[in-house]
Amino acid sequence: MTIGMIYSLIALGYSMVYGVLKMVNFAHGDLCVLGAMFSLFLLRVAGITKGRLNIIEVPLTGARLVGVAAMVFLGGMLFSAIAALIIERFVYRPLRRASILTVLVSALGVSIALENMMMLVFGREMKSFPSLLEKRYFTIMGATYSNLQVFIAILTIILLIGLFYLVDKTTLGRCIRAVAEDKDMAGLLGIDVNRVIVAVFALGAALGAVAGISHAMYYGQTYYLTGYQLMILGWAAAVIGGIGDMRGCVIAGLLIGLLEAVGGGYLPILTGGLLGADYRRIFVFLVLIITLIVKPSGILGKPEVIIKA
Amino acid sequence: MFNKDESKAVRKPLSIPLSRILQYWRELTSNVWGRRILLLLVAALLLILPRFLSNYWLRVLDIAGLYVMMSLGYNLMFGYTGLFNLGFAAFFATGAYCYAILASPLHNMHLPFLVILPIAVGLTSLVSYLLGIPSISLYGDYLGLVTLAFAEIFRILVNNLEFTNSAYGIINIDPISVPFFTFKSVSDYYYLILPLCVITYFVIKRLEQSRIGRAWLAIRNDENAARTTGLDTRQLKLLACAIGVAPVGLAGVIFAGMQTFISPMSFTSKETWLIIAMAIVGGLGNADGAVLGALLLIILPEPLRGTPIESARALIYGLLLIFFSLFRPQGLLPRRHRASVPQAEKGT
């Protein structure tokens, strides 16, 4: 379920960018990891490993913990957002009116370049990522949760509520929706389309960074190629949910997380050990392909013209 | 609308020296005899090349030849027809695993190369065709996602199934042999790969100029318009799927025979990205471009091996993709339009 929330956040980033630009941002998964990498760097600089300050051996509790967590998440979000802005300004903006295939190729290029850059800067090995919280488990209604899972879930829910409020109620949100509806018309009505697009990119990348950091904490590690997996799964969630539709994305993200968890847990039991937990992703992709065939606009999407046949 | 003038303005400073070189080239090749002599020279050079090269460089050339085939296939799908396939590594792996399973001690099968070849290539085409049936009506990025998901499924399967010896890979694959001859050294393989490349090139070149090729191009430029002129776009796209991966399957077979060892690690998404980069750099919709792109991207980085720049190889590929889509989306050797073909390079 927690992992589903992470996928939801990534899917939202895809969906929002797709909404305003009608393009798939291949580099989104890598931006998520970039956020995680940067906050890991921050943690190293601050000398924090395994949930305590190393230099003076102070356990992180109370206000200190909140401060460190805020630093980690805000730092990662900021860094990812800045990276997204640079990419948007120098790669995607000049290509705004180019053919969609050209844009896809350039996005692919950005993704490859980012991955390799992370490898060069942060190293090519798996890195352990401190979870900050001392592991504690508790049981609610027969299921066991760790405090980290609860923390990620609460954080995600807060972010989601904030995001929905932003998009539904504020002026910026109204502008975003207008641009998503019709870019040229929005421009004619006096909306600064470029600024809206920039805002959406930054927002999407910041959400992605939260997802990337949560993912790193959840698995206790980060790796420069994680972005590729996140990219596929997040994109899959966005498409299953109906790209451009935020509620659909959240639901689809949770669905994929659930599929993975259930698949990983029950597959070996159900098939008598014939199919191991390694096969869980296959079901996610099968669901994706079936969704695309049966209802290409996604489970909640409007039947838009995305099929050209 | 605005696009045309805008992109021209950006392109201009870059294309002046290039166009001059191209102009000399065209003068030379516009003459029939000039073209024939040039062709003969190139053929002779290619044939005697192994005498002058070390085994190391021959190996590089062998690999480059395999990529030439794949790049040609990719060009057919993406460059001519506009099908955005992100799962090329899976088709490469299909060919390679087909050969490896049918000619290795793993299942104790040792079928001859000439029997496996049609099976492997046919199977690769069939897989692509079957994948195409449900997904072909999707457009652009959606098709990309489906093929990407397919490649992932394929990778997970190969990585876990006993049948493919899971993550250990398959070792001791029989070297490729035809009756009376077994390909052993790298120069043997050079003489195997070279004619295959040439055949692939000419088949694809002929296809490009055929009715089907023009129909594919029409689909790429405007699918709805192509449909209104009475083309069965669905069947044509499926055909492009099936034919486009055939050289990729072929390259996979040769790869397995040449390496005598394959594992899932050889077929990651990196291969797909590399092939895409080749097609883009060389020029989409042009078989010459595909060849040029493959040769450039395999041979140029070789001298950098062992230097610190080597680990930045993927970075350079990525930047190349960005650079080309920004400044020269048509690639180094763009498709030349015949007089009868109206100038309509722009996609949607």
Provide ipTM, 2 decimals: 0.76
Q: Which residues of B touch A23 (CB under 8 A)?
A: 141
Domains in chain A, number: 1
Closest by CA to B148, choosing from A232, A110, A7, A281, is A232
Q: What is the four-CA torsion angle of A292, A294, A299, A303, rounded to 10 degrees? A: 90
**CB-CB: which of A120, A228, A307 is closest to B315?**
A120
Q: What percent of chain A has pLDDT over 90?
A: 0
pLDDT classification of B6: cutoffs 50, 70, 90:
very low
Tell me the nearest-neighbour CA distance from A107 into chain B, angstroms.
Answer: 8
Report yes or no: A305 and A246 within 8 Å, Cβ to Cβ.
Answer: no
pLDDT of residue A277: 58
Q: For the domain that residue A191 is a member of, what is the CATH number?
A: 1.10.3470
pLDDT beyond 60 at A190: yes
**Is B146 in the A-facing interface, judged by CB distances under 8 Å?**
yes
Tell me the nearest-neighbour CA distance from B296 into chain A, angstroms.
Answer: 17
The sign one gets for the Cα dihedral A97, A101, A105, A107 is positive
Q: How many CB atoms lie within 10 A of CB B72?
A: 30
pLDDT classification of B277: cutoffs 50, 70, 90:
confident
A56-75 pLDDT tens trace:
445 555 666 777 777 788 88
B141-200 pLDDT tens trace:
778 888 888 888 888 888 877 777 777 778 777 777 777 777 877 788 888 888 899 999
**Is B167 in the A-facing interface, judged by CB distances under 8 Å?**
no
Domain limits for position A178? 2-133+141-294
Report yes or no: A100 and B143 within 8 Å, Cβ to Cβ.
Answer: no
Average pLDDT, integer, range A103-110: 85
> Which range is most confident: A127-131, A228-232, A265-269, B90-94?
B90-94
**CB-CB: which of B269, B325, B346 is closest to A109?**
B325
CB contact set of B290 (below 8 Å; sequence gap of 6+): B68, B71, B72, B74, B75, B79, B278, B279, B282, B283
Residue A307 lies in a domain: no
* CA terminus-to-terminus distance, chain A: 37
> From 1.10.220, 1.10.3470, 2.60.120, 3.50.50, which CATH number describes the B31-327 domain?
1.10.3470
CB contact set of B338 (below 8 Å; sequence gap of 6+): none
Closest by CA to B214, choosing from B126, B337, B39, is B337
CB contact set of B180 (below 8 Å; sequence gap of 6+): none
> Strand B103-104 relative to strand B109-110: parallel, antiparallel, unpaired?
antiparallel
